[in-house]
Structure 1
Amino acid sequence: MLDDRQKERHARGILLPDVGEEGQVKLLNASALVVGIGAIGSVVSTYLSAVGVGRIGLVDFDTIDMDDLQHQMLYEMPYLNRPKVRCAQERLEKMSPNTKIEGYFEVFGVKNALALMKNYDFIIDASNDFKTAFIINQACVLLKKPFSSASYFEYLGQVLSFVPQSACLACTFGKIPPQELHEHFRSGVSGFSTGILGSIQAGEVIKYFLHKDSGNLNEHMLLDTIALVDSQKLSITKITTHKNPNCPACGQNARRK
């Protein structure tokens, strides 16, 4: 049940036909982990906290640089050189005091992925890093957890979502691209482009929580689908993917450890 303050805070969302008070309770009882609190992650975490997701975890080991302020909207000048996780936690707690924000100022990797992810209902890859995305994918397969992955380059981006029954990241891309393609490099970043991607990804999370028991998640989410976003042309192209029975991550003969 929602109390009067919660009803007032989320009144406009409750008016949506697929939300109502029942849907808002689902969001309040849900939890999500955001890996990477940069251009995309700062948008995703802002929308999820505003909509009332009850508990949000933030993972990042980066600090705020001057050029982050151009496209990472959670951060301000006084936050320069401070950990992104701490600053994001501070901002989100002020904006949405009823959402529990949990920060993890540590490098996300193979050694801590399962421990960080196991207590959250939905995992969000906002790292813009192939290696991290594939670690999250493998951990989600092992934990049987849903997740969404978004990445960008200049004005282009893509969003994909996965549940245990759908094609996973390795089904879609086969294996991690060559190292030189996912080394950290400097490129132009469009704040409105990453804002679009983060908004789409937040929508995927919200729709999962609202419709996960409906039996028709494919009608609501980007499952078995890659959404390619071109923010200059304002176009979204959807490419269908398929679950691979021989996938090295989720296939019948995949190693489970």
Structure 2
Amino acid sequence: MRLPPLIAVRFFEATARHLSVRQAAHELHVTPGAVSQQVRKLEEFLGCALFERLPRGLALTPAGCDYQAVCGDALARIGHATERLSAPTRRVVLVSCTPGFAVQWLVPRLQQFLQQAPELDVHVSTTHRAVDLPGEGVHFAVRHGLGRYPGLHAEVLLADDLIPVCSPRLVAPRRTARLADITGPQLLHDEHRDDWRLWCQAHRLPQVDCEQGVVFAHSNGAIEAAVAGRGFALVRRGLVARELATRALIGVPTGALSTPLAYHLVYPPETLIDPALRRFRAWIVAQGAEG
């Protein structure tokens, strides 16, 4: 079997993934010159060019594209096998999501999974940033959007049908909230979304000024303020299931707002090579199907 120099393969795969010698060098903790040298060494070994050197960066040649696909899969398999052998008793699953999604949906359900899989640990990293999953060693991310993430597999985890909710104290002594109770100053916003404007347009409420209200850094803040009786939050029902069940929050009896957006479980295709990661993926997708 004729094998290439494996160090050169690793340097090539990082460069191909980033399409940048500088970023590959940063990931590998070496100099850009060392990366360029190893890539040239691999091209000489193979007898073909893997990159086109352009004035403003790199582009893969057709041969480079084919080789990257094979090398990326091979290195991922080696990495997963190494993890299993070097830490046979416990495995870590790293999940990235927003703080609001973690607090309201993921973390309350995790204890069930950990009881089913005591040999696994789940580390939840909260951020609004779209992390580089392969580059940062993250196995899964939950992202809100249309599900278009080049190079990653995405599957719908939760639909994004939104309902307005408030504390019963806000409309006491009545036990129900009405559409007419919603006013501009009482809106509780997530600064990362424009839900109230879309919802009011869909329900033909031009009298509600969606520029008013209080803006929070994430949906969890809006939900907490709603529980405290400070106004109306617009959220997915599944994120406040506990609060609705205990009547810490009540919903306004209107139709939910359907959108093409959803929460997606996102991961590199090679992630599911690992049986432990396949197990976590199956669990979280089943949880999403339940709402």
Q: One fold, TM greater than 0.5?
A: no
- Higher RCO (C-alpha 8 Å, min separation 6): 2
The TM-score bracket by the shorter chain reads under 0.3
Higher helix share: 2
Q: When the two structures are superposed, what TM-score results if normalisation uses the length of structure 2? A: 0.20
